[in-house]
Structure 1
Amino acid sequence: MRLTILGGGGFRVPLVYRALLDDPGRAVSEVALHDTDPRRVAVIAEVLARLAQGHPAPVPVRVADGLDDALEGAGFVFSAIRVGGTAGRIRDERIPLSEGVLGQETVGAGGVLYGLRTIPVALHIAERAAALAPEAWVINFTNPAGMVTEAMSQVLGDRVIGICDSPVGLVRRAARAAGADPAALADPDRAGYDYVGLNHLGWLRSLTLDGTELLPGLLADDAALGSFEEGRLFGGDWLRTLGALPNEYLHYYYFRRETLDSVRDTRETRGEFLDQQQGGFFERAAAAGGPDAVYALWERTRLEREETYMAHSREASGGWQRDSHDLEGGGYDRVALALMHAILDNSGTRLILNVRNGTTVPQLAPDAIVETVCEVSAQGARPLPCAPLREDQLGLMLQVKAVERATVEAAVFKDRSAALRALALHPLVDSPAVAARILERAAKEA
């Protein structure tokens, strides 16, 4: 079976390939890479060649000749594109900051701008996938993952599934902090968890092992909370007030003033850091002198990228370094591989995914994309029932979902009013006048 990776020159593609090499199931017989930047995809192909060296049965890799060639005959399509590159991300961050509101890749005004730019391209991919690989499953990594998956589902229905490594990373870290073996989470007869929300906006509200609820004890234990990323990020007092563990991106909502203060006058946004870091990587890789040198350079760059993740939020919550457990996270490569195997093996595996709501959250439309616990089989991912949302959780979900759906409408129909509505109604944008200026400047600088 062929796996196609769109955005095949992406920096994290080697993580997916390494997972495929380590996969005892060996479901993939070929990997096809497609990218709009031939230099980047050539460098990443060299990193993959180094990973394959000495492997008894490496998975063949080829660089596809265009999008249609990449899609035709694919069994699974991993979509991890970045429309506009890091230069676009920098604009998404700097334009809102110039108006005194948060600039971030997937949250707030920056997320809306990124969605407006990305959704038309994602829809084109969905249309070509439907025409050339109608039986393929499209696994969407592309951010903003919730709204991009929602747009693609208009074409592909339930055959597109969005993934993110933040929720599974939170569950693993919480289990370890509560004294449980994270490996036990894979056994549905022993472990259970209730996670619900939207992409980059969700809450872990229950965590059980062998019939025992672990979350209350964890929330009461400041030392245990201080042992993992989300505990340090939000603090024990606020987590006990919430009675749940929020996704790390909710720090932008709950501590908006502190986070904005940490980035307002920043010398370098996250996008600027990555633009310099990854641009430097690809330049040096071209002259590195062989696969070994390119691979070593990639590993060093990757570790630096992970260590600096969400640095401004950590600064706003007291300043601390990520440890080995924080760096391990959920592993989006492992989530993708688990999802692929669950479909191929018809296993009923439980994973946190971005899928159509159905009746999971009754207050949302059935076709709205939510992020929640799903049971995955050969028929795809089915969201499981969850406990009712608290009013504060539901209110935030409804408002941000309205923003996401307005962004999709604006991108599909080129509707400025919908774009203005998406920006102005976002909880992190405090003025329609500010929203209008952001939209006008983004259009000028596109």
Structure 2
Amino acid sequence: MKITILGGGGFRVPMLYDALLACAPRLGVDELALYDISSERLNRISVVLQGQAAASGGVLLPFTCTTRLEEALEGADFVFCAIRVGELEGRVIDERVPLNAGVVGQETTGPGGLCFALRTVPVMLELAEAVARHAPRAWFVNFTNPAGLVTEAIQGVLGGRVVGICDSPTALCRRVARALRRNPEDLWFDYFGLNHLGWLRAVRDGERDLLPDLLADDARLESFEEGRLFGGEWLRSLGMIPNEYLYFYYYASDAVGAVRSSLQSRGEFLLEQQHAFYAAGGDGPAAALHAWHATRREREARYMEEARSAAGLDGRDEHEMDAGGYEGEAIAVVEAIARNQGRVLILNTANASSLPFLDAGAVVEVPCIAGSTGIVPTAVGDVPGHARGLITTIKDVERTTIEAAVSGSRELAVQAIALHPLVPSVTVARRIFDAYSAQHPQLRHSLR
């Protein structure tokens, strides 16, 4: 089996390689191709991977690095895609522009996510077309944010062989299971929504729903991140546990104030940190691996820091610092398809009839049955009105953004920003878009 990683010089690639080292013999993975537009980044990450291979006790998983897309794709069975159009410098702009207008500045939520998508969708469509030409039988596993929106944009090219993944829903389910003192493998998690816009509605053990008892227990709610972030009173009001990214909707002004008062945005922190990591090339595999681990540890410690700061919370739970991330989700998809497991995974895929108030092609994030014949979303049914309304609105915003990116329409881009519930007026939306256009060359030249 050949796996190709688009964005192979990215900082998180060693996480994937480590997971692949553990499962390659079982899955028959014997070739890994890393593709990136930057040979410098590829070189730095390849040394880290050499360090991982040396530390693995003799497990062999050969990899190649290339800046030639066709070479990377040829013969691939699975294509992982984790690219960042505009790099971290672009993310800093995505976050700072809305903040200057008093709006949430976050990579995937609000105007920042829409601007990111406007730059990313055209590039992703080109990559999808290259996959269709050079690896037509490959499964395309998308990590690129905004994951749900991007997955929907490339469905027209790759059809049902594209799936979007995110580790956030699984992490929430894992934390809830720990609070319940139960094995997550023994539970059914009734989760629904869009990427970074979902809710855990029930947790069933085959006999009853365990969530009401958890919501009534303040001590147990305080034992995990979402319980502390949203507070027992609000969670009981909802009767559900929201994905952590819903903090930016429920506590928007608090989040804006917290980020404005901090010395650095998340993007600025990552830009500074990763610039230092990539600039420190020249050391051997062991030293490069050590530097990568230290950088990752600091990165993970500050994940979602703006939301925790706004909520008055301390640092992250040590359990989460050591838990697996999106690499585990990616490997789970590969294993479920390659071994036809019929495994239940929370994924981003075409709705079919899972959420009956959305059309069949809308990409949703729900429990799915994953096997060799494809990804089949389970039936979620109707959901509370407030969640249904927000999902419907954001889906329309996502689709308007895709249309704007494909057509190059400034009018549609402004409309998408203005219709987002975190943006207070059309005037503010125009101001945000004009500021993005002034600072992002890609938008200045592609949207008119």
TM-score class normalised by the smaller sequence: over 0.9
- Secondary structure at the aligned position of 2:361 is classed as coil
Return the offset for 1:417: 1.6
The residue aligned with 1:74 is 76
Provide Cα deviations, 1:193-229, integer angstroms capped at 9, x if missing partner. Answer: 1111000000011111242321111111111111111
The equivalent residue for 2:240 is: 244
How far off is 1:266 after superposition?
3.1
> Relative to structure 1, is the Cα distance of residues 331 and 259 closer, same or farther in structure 2, using a 3 angstrom cutoff?
same
Give the Cα–Cα distance (whole angstroms) in 1 for the partners of residues 90 and 52 of structure 2: 31
1:428 aligns with 2:429: no
Matched residues in 1 for 2:206 and 2:106: separation?
Answer: 40
Q: What residue in structure 1 maps to residue 157 of structure 2?
A: 155
Task: Give the Cα separation in 2 of the matches to 1:75 and 1:277.
Answer: 34
1:414 to 397, 400, 408: 408
Residue aligning to 1:33: 34
Aligned to 1:308: 302
- The corresponding residue for 1:44 is 45
Q: CA deviation at 1:64?
A: 2.2
Amino acid at match of 1:17: Y
Match of 2:231 among 231, 235, 251: 235
- Partner of 1:25: helix, strand, or coil? helix
Which of the residues 337, 347, 362 maps onto 1:368?
A: 362
Of residues 382, 388, 392, the one that matches 1:388 is 382
In structure 1, how many angstroms separate the alpha carbons of the residues matched to 2:436 and 2:414? 12
What one-letter code is carried by the residue in structure 2 that aligns with 1:408? Answer: I
Cα pair 1:374 1:384 within 8 Å, conserved: yes
- Amino acid in the other structure paired with 1:413: S
What is the CA–CA distance in structure 2 between the aligned matches of 1:157 and 1:135, rounded to whole Å? 11
Quote the Cα distance in structure 2 between the aligned partners of 1:212 and 1:362. Answer: 24
Separation of aligned partners in 2, 1:67 and 1:263: 38
- SS of equivalent residue, structure 2 residue 264: coil
SS in structure 1 of the partner of residue 108 of structure 2: coil
Q: Contact conserved, 2:7 with 2:35, CA < 8 A, in 1? A: yes
Q: Which residue of 305, 315, 339 corresponds with 2:333?
A: 339
CA distance in 2, matches of 1:192, 1:341: 20
Report the residue type matching 1:51 in the other structure: Q
Q: What is the identity percentage for the equivalent residue pairs of Structure 1 and Structure 2?
A: 50
Unpaired segments of 5 or more residues in structure 1?
none
Q: TM-score, normalised by structure 2?
A: 0.96
Once the two structures are superposed, residues 108-162 of structure 1 have per-residue CA deviations (whole angstroms, 9 ceiling, x without a partner) of 0000000000000000000010111110000000001011101111111111100
Aligned residues: 438
| Matches for 1:106-121 after TM superposition, within 5 Å | 106-121=108-123
Q: Is the 8 A contact 2:229 2:313 kept in 1?
A: no
For 1:136, give the aligned amino acid.
A
How many Å apart are 1:283 and its aligned residue? Answer: 1.1
Q: Which whole-Å deviations, capped at 9, do the CAs of 1:152-179 have from their partners, x for residues lacking one?
A: 1111111110000000000010011011
Letter in 1 for 2:139: W
Change (3 A) 1:402 1:330: farther
User: Which amino acid letter does the alignment assign opposite residue 167 of structure 2?
Assistant: D
Which residue in the other structure is 1:128 paired with?
130
Q: CA deviation at 1:95?
A: 1.0
Q: Which residue of 2 aligns with 1:9?
A: 9
| AA at the equivalent of 2:357 | Q
1:272 is matched with 268
Q: Cα offset for 1:386?
A: 1.0
Distance in 1 of aligned mates of 2:291 and 2:131: 34
What SS class does the counterpart of residue 352 from structure 1 fall into?
strand
Task: Give the SS at the match of 1:212.
Answer: coil
Alignment of 1:202-221 (within 5 A): 202-221=198-217
Q: Does the CA contact (< 8 Å) of 2:39 and 2:67 recur in 1? A: no
The question of whether the paired residues in 2 share the 8 Å contact of 1:225 and 1:236 is answered with yes
1:181 alignment partner in structure 2: 183
**RMSD value over aligned CA atoms?**
1.1
Quick one: which of 317, 321, 324 aligns to 1:327? 321
Q: Kindly state the Cα deviation for residue 318 of structure 1 after the two structures are TM-superposed.
A: 1.4
Cα pair 1:168 1:329 within 8 Å, conserved:
no
Tell me the equivalent position of 1:357. Answer: 351
Check conservation: 1:350, 1:375, Cα contact below 8 A.
yes
Q: CA deviation at 1:65?
A: 4.0
Structure 1 residues 294-337: Cα deviation after superposition (integer angstroms, max 9, x where no partner): 10000000010000001110011112111122324552111100
Alpha-carbon contact 1:101-1:260 (below 8 Å) kept = yes
- Cα deviation code 1:403-441 (max 9, x no counterpart): 100110000111112111110011111111111111112
TM-score (normalised: structure 1)? 0.96
1:90 to 86, 89, 92: 92
> More displaced, 112-121 or 18-27?
18-27
Q: Structure 1 runs of 4+ off > 6 angstroms?
A: none
CA gap 1:9/1:165 in 2 versus in 1, 3 angstroms:
same
Gapped runs of 5+ residues in structure 2? 441-448
